[in-house]
Amino acid sequence: MRPVNLLPQSARPYVASGKAGNGSYVVIGVLAVLVLALAGYVLTSNKITTHKNEIAQAQEETQAAQAKAAGLEKYGQFSQVAAQRIQSVGSLAINRIDYERILRETSRVLPDGVWINSLDAEATGGSTTTSTSGSTTPSNTPSVHLLGCAPSQKSVATTLVRLRAIHGSDEVQLNDSGKPLQLAPDSGASGQSGGGGGNCGNNFAFDILVNLTNEVTGFGDQGQKVPSTLGGGS
């Protein structure tokens, strides 16, 4: 005889039939894919945020470095100005004329009765005047230009010879020498000549150019010592 279960359907124990198993696996697989996608999104988002933070930090550091460089720029400009001034001072020192020494030496070599009304020295760019032709030739060597007075032409010639004894003297040229013109007392003008001007009275006025060597410019004459007869050692 076949057994019959008299319990209602709701009271009967659950028995797995195996028909719904494949659907559960599909749902679990979909959930797993969603979880992996979410995890990948979170990781990518974190990396993007990290890179953005690094970029922002780099920009801040760049701005700070630029601000610091702008603050130090004036010191760089000051350094350039200081270097240019040092170079200018050095150039002037190298090409300078020692007036104290020139005056001391000139006073030692002048003959008796000869005096100087004007003395001018140039480190470079002087000029040489030829008395016969009156032409002027530029010179790139140091020179001393003297305007003075002498009692005679012989004294002028002696002055030319003695000026050659000046330390560093290379050439001594006489540009002009003559007696001032004698004008009438009521003319209101003083006697003048082409040489030392009208301050010589009845004496001879001369115009002399002394060309020097390049070794006489600069501090200490670049190792060249002034002879003791010309006041050297002071």
Cα separation, 58 vs 201, whole angstroms: 87
The tens digit of pLDDT for each residue in 31-71 reads: 888 888 888 888 998 899 898 899 999 999 998 888 888 87
pLDDT score, position 94: 65
CATH topology of domain 99-183+191-230: Alpha-Beta Plaits (3.30.70)
**Residue 124 — φ and ψ, nearest 5°?**
-145, 165
Length of the chain, in residues: 234
Cα separation, 229 vs 210, whole angstroms: 19
pLDDT score, position 131: 43
With 70 as the cut, is the pLDDT of residue 160 above it? yes
Domain boundaries, given as residue ranges, for the chain? 21-94, 99-183+191-230
The tens digit of pLDDT for each residue in 217-226 reads: 554 444 455 5
Q: What would the two tokens of residue 226 be? A: 């002034």
pLDDT score, position 141: 78
Mean pLDDT score of the chain, rounded to an integer?
Answer: 76
- pLDDT, greater one: 224 or 14: 14
- Which pTM value belongs to this model? 0.49
Closest to 212 in 3D by CA, of 173, 171, 175, 174: 171
The tens digit of pLDDT for each residue in 84-131 reads: 888 887 776 666 777 888 888 899 999 999 999 999 888 765 555 444
Helix (H, G, I), strand (E, B) or coil at 76: helix
- The top-scoring range by mean pLDDT among 14-28, 108-122, 202-216 is 108-122
Which helix (H) or strand (E) element contains residue 121? Answer: strand 115-122
Helix (H, G, I), strand (E, B) or coil at 212: strand
Q: Is 194 exposed, middle or buried, given 0-12, 13-18 or 19+ CB atoms closer than 10 A?
A: middle
Describe the strand order of the beta sheet including 143-150 as a list of residue ranges. Answer: 115-122, 143-150, 204-212, 169-178
Which helix (H) or strand (E) element contains residue 162? Answer: helix 153-163
Classify strands 143-150 and 127-129 as parallel, antiparallel or unpaired. Answer: unpaired
Cβ proximity of 131 and 176 under 8 Å: yes
Residue 179, Cβ neighbours under 10 Å: how many? 16
Residue 117, Cβ neighbours under 10 Å: how many? 16
